[in-house]
A and B are shown apart, each in its own frame.
Chain A
Amino acid sequence: MALEINNLVGGYSQIPVLKKISFQVRPGELVGLIGLNGAGKSTTINHIIGLLEPQQGSIKINNVTLKQDPRKYKKSLAYIPEMPLLYPELTLKEHLDLTIKAYDLNPTVAWKLARQLLKVFRLDNKLTWFPAKFSKGMRQKVMIVCAFITQADYYIIDEPFLGLDPLATRDLLELISKEKKRGAGILMSTHVLSTAQTKCDYFVLLQAGQIKAQGDLAELEKQSQISSHQLEDIYFALTKEDRQYE
């Protein structure tokens, strides 16, 4: 039982961006996906959520690929995009209704959870608002609430901290650790290394479409061959070659 990426080759065109990458997200684990701009983080995520099809290799959630059982695969997955994706013609309440219907959730249970989350993110009095009225941060919060009411097995979170105020960032991190305890696996891509260092259990460091290193902090440290416990130092050491190209 895990989200498994095996020898994934893929990208937007015939020329692959990702070159045989493999890693796993296990239940109850927060995996940090880190790398420079253009390293392939978003491409990896797009493959996992099914917007791109693997050219080689496979992606399995609990041993099922998207092709084998799209409904089951998609139901086990919730996604928070980097740029909030909202329907301009739906109110906040209707977004939640839609999510509940789409994931076939129990409305009573889901709404109870939704109300708690809305309160945490101070959106509980904005149920009739349209997305046009929301700021970037508020839209991001709507995405967070919509994703977390699904209580999915796995969460894919792309760069979640941009535009969030410090309070909301803290609340999101709390939410993530709660979901971890429930047994959900989370893959989070981020550039905020200080947060990643303290919160993630496992790291996948992408560079030019390949996995440069993976493991927990201690393992990364070994692979980088420097003596520092800071993710930032390790990250700089490991991406050094790539920067020399520029």
Chain B
Amino acid sequence: MNELWKKRKQNYLNTLLHYAKYVLNDHFVIALLFFMGGLALAYSKLIKSLPEQPKWWEQPVVILWLLLWLQVGRLATLLQPADMIFLAPEQYQLPGYLKQAFKHSYLVGAGWQVVAWFVILPLVGHGLNWSWPLLLGLLILQLMLKLIWLVVQQGQAFSWEKDYIWHFLIFKWLLPLSCLALYVLTSNLFSLLIPAAVIIGQTLLPRSAKNKGIFNWQQMIKNEQQRMQSIYRVINLFIDVPQIKGRIYRLRWLDGCLPSIRKSPSIYDFLFMRSFLRRSEYSGLFIRLVVLAGILQAILKGFWLPIILDLIFIYLIGFQQFPLYFTFDDNALTYLYPVDKKVKYQAFKRLNWKLMLLAAVILLVIGQLIEFDLKRLLFEIIGVLIEIWLLNNLFLLSYLKKRT
């Protein structure tokens, strides 16, 4: 079983590495770096402007930040659905396997906590004027809370309680919230004793329960699948992940926006619009990019910066919708309909043009609301229109040529 864990871990890391390669190649990274840079700039300005006397919001922000980051880094068991059948005879060896999984998960989870601590450091050090021992204490607290968090998660493996959700609520949210609040508000190192006591309790108590427990395969496999899905979903922000099938939502309230079959110039207009709105992978991506660009548009000021930003994001929004063109290709019926193939290309262009225009209008309006500047607006309108034309003609054609 140790061998199995090693192999699985290697495969898992390879998968992540494989995707990392693509993610780091993608244009989206440029946008994201831009975004991070913008945020970092705003953050450092904020820290410098903080007065000696802490403001009322500083402590709650620290607590909330650490509480939310604590939730990052789940238990990675790397179990697969088929394990339920193939590994069942080896069930007695599972605790060894799980121990390895736990070790790995804790290292990764703790790594994330160090990052979170590092990011909040300037605020706590500068804003709250904490000394180094207190700052280190905060890190230790966060690492202890993560340990408790993971132990509870692992406990689910041998638990058949229907309301295990209560354990989660208490040990993943309420206990951390109280410990963090106590520590941050009183800045007393002695409050670290509480989580320490909980950890000792956790190691002593469930031993007996663990030994007689029956492994809850279905639950653990479900957990693992959900974990992988959420990782894939993050990666899916950058590139297509085959494991993400995207969910279909009816979104009844949007039915009004959908063209009826009579009003659609072709069956493809009818299909594309419905796919875009109802398939989360397309509409979701569109909304995420517009929101990200909108936030940046509101933060960044100047003449050229917003223009460049608009152009980058319109490019991303237009480009990321291109795969929609192939959505129906796995359905042979689309091929059988007595409809001219050229119609499909035209219909796709119509939709993509509308989407990019919509995004552009939203971004330009936000930009003008933040800082009214007619000259900039003129530049933006001309730039965006040229860009949309290029994307919808030259870029789209070369993309389709590459894919077919």
From A49, A50, A77, A102, give the contact of B339 (CB < 8 A): A102
| List of B residues within 8 angstroms of A85 by Cβ | 331-333
- In Å, the complex CA distance between A87 and B338 comes to 17
Flag if B248 contacts A88 (CB, 8 Å): yes
Flag if A89 contacts B267 (CB, 8 Å): no
| List of A residues within 8 angstroms of B338 by Cβ | 70-75, 102-104
Among the 9-residue stretches A92-100, A165-173, A227-235, the one with 4 or more Cβ atoms under 8 Å from chain B is A92-100
| List of A residues within 8 angstroms of B271 by Cβ | 87, 90, 98
Q: Is B191 among interface residues, defined by CB-CB distance under 8 A?
A: no
Chain A, Cβ-Cβ closest to B275 = A89
| List of B residues within 8 angstroms of A71 by Cβ | 338-340
Q: Is B230 among interface residues, defined by CB-CB distance under 8 A?
A: no
- In Å, the complex CA distance between A48 and B325 comes to 26
Chain B at the A interface: mostly helix, strand, loop or mixed? mixed
- In Å, the complex CA distance between A81 and B279 comes to 24
From B248, B270, B332, give the contact of A81 (CB < 8 A): B332
Q: A88-B248, A101-B261 are in contact. Are A74 and B336 (CB under 8 A)?
A: yes
From A50, A90, A102, give the contact of B274 (CB < 8 A): A90
| List of A residues within 8 angstroms of B172 by Cβ | none
| List of A residues within 8 angstroms of B339 by Cβ | 71, 102
Q: Is B264 among interface residues, defined by CB-CB distance under 8 A?
A: yes
Q: B residues 325-344 with Cβ under 8 Å of A?
A: 328, 331-333, 335-340
| Nearest CB of B to A65, in Å | 14
Flag if B267 contacts A98 (CB, 8 Å): yes
| Nearest CB of B to A213, in Å | 30
| Nearest CB of B to A10, in Å | 16
Flag if A74 contacts B337 (CB, 8 Å): yes
Q: Interface residues of A, CB < 8 Å — how many?
A: 30
| Nearest CB of B to A128, in Å | 8
Flag if B335 contacts A97 (CB, 8 Å): no
| Nearest CB of A to B346, in Å | 15
From A88, A102, A107, give the contact of B267 (CB < 8 A): A102
Render B258-280 as a binary contact track against A, CB cut-off 8 A, 1 for contact. 00111010110011001100110
Q: Is B7 among interface residues, defined by CB-CB distance under 8 A?
A: no
| Nearest CB of A to B78, in Å | 29
| List of B residues within 8 angstroms of A98 by Cβ | 261, 267, 270-271
Q: Is B6 among interface residues, defined by CB-CB distance under 8 A?
A: no
Flag if B264 contacts A101 (CB, 8 Å): yes
Render B315-359 as a binary contact track against A, CB cut-off 8 A, 1 for contact. 000000000000010011101111110000000000000000000
| Nearest CB of A to B367, in Å | 33
Render A51-91 as a binary contact track against B, CB cut-off 8 A, 1 for contact. 10000000000000000001111110101010001111111
Q: Is B48 among interface residues, defined by CB-CB distance under 8 A?
A: no
Q: A97-B270, A98-B270, A102-B267 are in contact. Are A89 and B278 (CB under 8 A)?
A: yes
Flag if A50 contacts B264 (CB, 8 Å): no
Q: A75-B338, A89-B279, A130-B248 are in contact. Are A97 and B333 (CB under 8 A)?
A: no
Q: Is A132 among interface residues, defined by CB-CB distance under 8 A?
A: yes
- In Å, the complex CA distance between A134 and B43 comes to 51
| List of A residues within 8 angstroms of B332 by Cβ | 49, 51, 81, 85
| Nearest CB of B to A11, in Å | 17
| Nearest CB of B to A119, in Å | 21
Chain B, Cβ-Cβ closest to A128 = B250
| List of B residues within 8 angstroms of A130 by Cβ | 248, 250
Flag if A101 contacts B278 (CB, 8 Å): no
Chain A, Cβ-Cβ closest to B328 = A87
| List of A residues within 8 angstroms of B267 by Cβ | 98, 101-102
| List of B residues within 8 angstroms of A87 by Cβ | 271, 274-275, 328, 331
| List of B residues within 8 angstroms of A74 by Cβ | 336-338
Render A118-157 as a binary contact track against B, CB cut-off 8 A, 1 for contact. 0000000000001010000000000000000000000000
| List of B residues within 8 angstroms of A107 by Cβ | 262
| List of A residues within 8 angstroms of B278 by Cβ | 89
- In Å, the complex CA distance between A132 and B335 comes to 22
| List of B residues within 8 angstroms of A73 by Cβ | 338
| List of B residues within 8 angstroms of A88 by Cβ | 248, 279
Flag if B335 contacts A51 (CB, 8 Å): yes
Flag if A101 contacts B248 (CB, 8 Å): no
- In Å, the complex CA distance between A72 and B338 comes to 7
From B274, B336, B340, give the contact of A49 (CB < 8 A): B336
| Nearest CB of B to A85, in Å | 5
Q: Could you write out 30 A-B pairs with CB less than 8 Å apart?
A: A50-B335, A51-B335, A70-B338, A71-B338, A71-B339, A71-B340, A72-B338, A73-B338, A75-B338, A79-B333, A79-B336, A85-B332, A86-B331, A87-B274, A87-B275, A87-B331, A88-B279, A89-B248, A89-B274, A89-B275, A94-B274, A97-B260, A97-B261, A98-B261, A98-B271, A100-B261, A103-B337, A103-B338, A130-B248, A132-B248
5 pairs of A and B residues whose beta carbons are closest in the complex: A102-B337, A74-B338, A97-B261, A75-B338, A89-B278
| Extra inter-chain contacts (12) besides given A74-B336, A97-B270, CB under 8 Å | A49-B332, A49-B336, A70-B338, A87-B274, A88-B248, A89-B278, A91-B250, A94-B274, A98-B271, A100-B261, A102-B337, A102-B338
- A interface residues (Cβ-Cβ under 8 A, vs B): 49-51, 70-75, 77, 79, 81, 85-91, 94, 97-98, 100-104, 107, 130, 132
